[in-house]
Chains A and B, each alone.
Chain A
Amino acid sequence: MTDHPTSPVSQPASTSVGAAGGDVTRLTAAATAAAIAAGELSAVEATQAALERIAKVDDTIHAFLHVDGEGALAAARRVDQRRAAGEALGPLAGVPLALKDVLATRGMPTTCGSRILEGWQAPYDATVVTRLRAADVVLLGKVNMDEFAMGSSTENSAYGPTRNPWDTTRIPGGSSGGSAAAVAAFEAPLAIGTDTGGSIRQPAAVCGLVGVKPTYGAVSRYGLVAFSSSLDQAGPLARTVGDAALLHAAIAGHDALDSTSVDVPVPPVVAAAARRDVRGMRVGVVRELSGDGYDPGVRAAFTAAVETLTELGAEIVEVSCPHFTYAMPAYYLIAPSECSSNLARFDAMRFGLRLGDDGQAGAEEVMSRTREAGFGPEVKRRIILGTYALSSGYYDAYYGQAQKVRTLISRDFAAAYEQVDVLISPTTPTPAFPIGAKVDDPVAMYLSDLCTIPSNLAGGPAMSLPVGLADGLPVGLQIMAPTFADDRLYRVGGALEAALDDRRGHPLLDEAPAL
């Protein structure tokens, strides 16, 4: 370890606080990469620091399902060798990262938080993983999630719940709860999550992080185990808007291996995050995403953030999106319908668990017994619900009608973006709830995604960033933008983050209790 690895690269917004001290795990991804590139810190040191932090806190947090210490250190050594050889390094070279266990990864298990894939190793890398490896990002391992990304609390993992670093009796959000908890607990500066109805943004909000769902089609879904193919999208979780932008830029871009990947240039997200100027931007507050059911502390933090945006020179407009109130019902028909089809591939024949194959039982019986034992309650609920919504006689009333509502929600967005550049709302109606509080009440759990679902249905990008605390728990503000205008999220998010950090004197995450 060099004497003062942080000082030459410290950034006012991220490392000025005494708590960061010489602790490498408190550095932002940008600062970590800069220190490695400058030779003030080695990638091996950064990786070892992350692995030591995991060893120290993950018994409590339970973010990781699999830690690949050897693989991570080998990748870090390659970065150090390349630097020593004088090769140019990318902006995230040597930075440790936690990968949601829904992305196919060679050399590590990919379980999707399910018994049915326990111990399964993918024979290929997801494109996101290929791009991370190519960017010299150090993969620490795979992190916990609601089974097949279905849930808002990570309690639906077959491998036990993950805990919120702000209050370990509470949920870290979901389905990317392991990704969020790992970053908030300083086990990794970066994580990849996936977002089908809010599964990056809601965990980011309740853990005090920045989380982004890119525009649908911007990040390849190749090797992302499908839950709801028309909605799923991978994206970054980080402690700062700038770090999220670096990771976004590393994973986005057209991929011929995904037929829903869109061939448009990646928007200039890194430059937008650094711009810190929202003067003249028109920001719409969505009328329908407020009011009854929103925690008073969430409302207060949101209102204060809106005032800050006004002070920064943004023009605030109230906007109505009347069909957003039907987004949750439409989503819980569309997503289960697609899930019932996608999860048919877990048939006990080609990969994963197989039970009851005693030489007598037929394939259907083996399949039924395996799926009974291999899937948890929420996955079963959604498969049955989707099978029902797609059955003849109900199709028009449920799935067909939900697809029409999806059109109306897209039209609401289009009309709103004629008046404003971005839309904002709280990310979640409430802060993190206690573990166990909603496990037996699926509908109450589904309401966690009220504000995040519209962007999945319409495909546009959206970000959650921390704007304050409610009773000591983080509150997230959601920014939504038109499809392929992901850079607007970063422009508004970067400016708001800088103003709030300046006012507070430190990043919000510095207020999290020590683990």
Chain B
Amino acid sequence: MGITRDEVAHLARLSRMSVTDAELDALAPQLEAILSAVARVSQVAAADIPPTSHAVPLTNVLRPDVVRPSLSAEDALAGAPAAEDGRFRVPRILDPDE
């Protein structure tokens, strides 16, 4: 048990969030405190208990495979940080030397 500053930095990288040193200093002990509060779930004997992912029974929902109106490209792009030629414009996704 226990979560280190390095682990928090790694998890932040995995979550695609740059965090400052000051944030790491605050986050590590807070997450440690939260984890020790929630770790009590492991005290419950539940080896043969099935997990619940949803409170009410669900089945997959499909609709008929027919063309129907949907969001226009203009509406879909209206909130985009950048758009060009009717598409989302994004920063480069590969390193320059790749």
Contacts and interface: CB of A to CB of B under 8 A. Distances in A.
Given A361-B91, A362-B91, A401-B44, A387 B58 contact: no
Interface in B9-62: 11-20, 23, 26-27, 30-31, 33-35, 37-44, 46, 49-56, 58, 60-61
A351 B79 contact: yes
Given A349-B81, A349-B88, A402-B41, A388 B51 contact: no
Nearest to B92: A362
Contacts of A351: 79-81
A460 to B, nearest CB: 8
A262 interface: yes
A67 interface: no
A443 B44 contact: no
Interface in B58-98: 58, 60-61, 63, 71, 75-76, 78-82, 88, 90-95
Contacts of A354: 81-82
B50 A350 contact: no
Contacts of B34: 332, 381, 385, 442-443, 446
Contacts of A397: 42
B16 to A, nearest CB: 5
Interface string A173-205: 000000000000000000000000000000000
A123 B78 contact: yes
Contacts of A329: 37-41
A330 interface: yes
**Count class of interface residues, chain B:** 35 or more
B91 A363 contact: yes
A512 interface: no
Interface in A333-360: 333, 340, 344, 347-354, 357
Contacts of A457: 52, 55
Contact of B41 (A259, A330, A380, A385): A330
Contact of A217 (B14, B30, B49, B56): B56
Contacts of A499: none
B98 to A, nearest CB: 10
Interface-centre pick from A217, A348, A349, A354 (highest chain B CB count, 10 A)? A349
A337 to B, nearest CB: 11
Contacts of A353: 81
Nearest to A409: B52
A403 B71 CA distance: 36
A67 to B, nearest CB: 21
Contacts of A385: 31, 34-35
A135 interface: no
Contact of B49 (A262, A372, A404): A404
User: Is chain A's interface secondary structure helix, strand, loop, or mixed overall?
Assistant: helix
Contacts of A367: 16
Given A333-B38, A362-B92, A404-B44, A371 B81 contact: no
A220 B94 CA distance: 39
A344 B17 CA distance: 10
A124 B93 contact: no
A407 B71 contact: no
A407 B79 contact: no
B44 A410 contact: no
B44 A357 contact: no
A326 B50 contact: no
A340 B16 contact: no
B81 A357 contact: yes
Nearest to B79: A351
B3 A260 contact: no
B19 A380 contact: yes
B58 A259 contact: yes
B27 A380 contact: yes
A308 interface: no
Given A363-B92, A401-B46, A459 B55 contact: yes
A453 B4 CA distance: 29
List the 5 shortest-distance A-B pairs measured between CB atoms, nearest first: A459-B55, A403-B51, A354-B81, A404-B46, A123-B75
21 contacts: A123-B75, A230-B53, A260-B54, A332-B34, A333-B38, A348-B81, A350-B79, A352-B81, A363-B93, A365-B91, A377-B26, A380-B19, A383-B15, A403-B52, A404-B46, A408-B49, A410-B52, A456-B55, A457-B52, A457-B55, A459-B56
